[in-house]
Structure 1
Amino acid sequence: MVVPRELYKIVTVFSTLIAIVAVVGGFVLLDTATNRTVAAASEVNLPLAIAGVGAIALGAATYAFASRFRTGGMGSPNSDDDGDIEDG
């Protein structure tokens, strides 16, 4: 999706920030749920662990979808600037 440069900057900055906070927060939640990985399986706080994994997935999805934005002059997503190089 081609968007104006200012919108591209805003989307890039805030989506990266949200993704980083979500992933780091998810790992903190997961670490807390498993008591720094020393808890027995029966002692794991399952709702907190699920929330942690969900936060990590949310951060990954946010970053992945935000990378779909382009601004003018970035080229098409299917263009191959290194046309002379073969994969193999």
Structure 2
Amino acid sequence: MADDPSRTGDSADEAADARGTDPDSAVGFDSATSETRSERDDSDGEGAESGQAGGDARSVVVPTAVYKRVTVFSTLIAVVAVVGGFLVLDVATDRATAELSEIDPLVALAGVGLIAFGAVTYAFSTRFRAEGMGNAKDDTDEPSNNG
């Protein structure tokens, strides 16, 4: 970059070259992380075009009506799947009294699979937030009452 004729050669340009950024451009390149400044700013989840409020890049902001439906139905599905999974697992093990050779492994795996499906469904549903909802982890204006 030293033989670029458009450079003036002052110390600010040399420092920018060392950092891998161009001081004249709005989008710089960070050579340490191999990402542009705009990519790093957008990955915060606070970019205007990301459609997300708050700092969690994995959360999805939806209208309040959608949030209510997602919360109700995903919680219902998760509870039914987990309880059903334990019931199926209970049937497979004959109320946990069956000998190891008497356990039906396919039914037991189906029970464990239902439990895992319920957990994944609930975890997925926690990604949704309604418009205007904040993230408790991002609130710093509340005093700490732990001693």
TM-score in terms of structure 2 length: 0.55
Distance 1:24 1:8 in 2: 24
How far residue 61 of structure 1 moved from its aligned partner, in angstroms, is 0.7
Of 37, 48, 58, the residue aligned with 2:117 is 58
Number of residue pairs matched? Answer: 88
Of 99, 102, 121, the residue aligned with 1:40 is 99
Q: Deviations over 1:20-72 (max 9, x none)?
A: 11001000000000000000001001000000000001001100110110011
Cα RMSD over matched residues? 1.7
Of 70, 73, 81, the residue aligned with 1:14 is 73
Structure 1 residue aligned with 2:54? none
Larger C-alpha radius of gyration, 1 or 2? Answer: 2
User: Which sections of structure 1, spanning at least 5 residues, go unmatched?
Assistant: none
* Large movers: runs of 4+ above 4 Å: none
More helix by share: 1
User: Which AA in structure 2 matches 1:12?
Assistant: T
Of 109, 126, 132, the residue aligned with 1:67 is 126
Q: Which has the higher contact order (CA 8 A, sep 6+)?
A: 1
User: Which sections of structure 2, spanning at least 5 residues, go unmatched?
Assistant: 1-59
User: Which AA in structure 2 matches 1:41?
Assistant: L
TM-score in terms of structure 1 length: 0.90
Structure 1 residue aligned with 2:138? 79
